[in-house]
Amino acid sequence: DIQMTQSPSTLSASVGDRVTITCRASQSISSWLAWYQQKPGRAPKLLIYKASSLESGVPSRFSGSGSGTEFTLTISSLQPDDFATYYCQQYNSLGTFGQGTKVEIK
């Protein structure tokens, strides 16, 4: 089974900060990686698919990069609506999520 490891687990940041979250796969997953945003009590929302493709309607301050085993989600300028938990998901072999990264207000 493919394991996904996100870092950090928690991130404290301020509005306007550039934020980067890392996701590592236990084996190569090519570019079969997605990123989701989840707010408390809500369903996850797809942000990025195929490692770097922006889902329709998602603000351009979100971007994804990477391939193989190492991936990043970057928020170029953190907005108040972006404080949430972010998950990566590999879909090279079934589906496995990372443990999540909570982005909180500094």
Partner 1 sequence: EVQLVESGGGLVQPGGSLRLSCAASGFSFSTYSMNWVRQAPGKGLEWVSYISSNINTIYYADSVKGRFTISRDNAKNSLYLQMNSLRDEDTAVYYCARDRPPRSSTPASFGYWGQGTLVTVSS
How far is Cα of residue 90 from the mean position of the Cα atoms in its chain? 11
Does residue 45 belong to the site contacting partner 1 (CB under 8 A)? yes
Does position 2 interact with partner 1 (CB under 8 A)? The reply is no
According to the binding rule CB under 8 A, does residue 81 interact with partner 1? Answer: no
Question: Is there a contact between 72 and 21 (Cβ–Cβ < 8 Å)?
Answer: yes
Q: Does 59 bind partner 1 (CB under 8 A)?
A: no
Contact positions toward partner 1, by CB under 8 A?
1, 34, 36, 38, 43-46, 49-50, 55, 87, 89, 91, 93-100
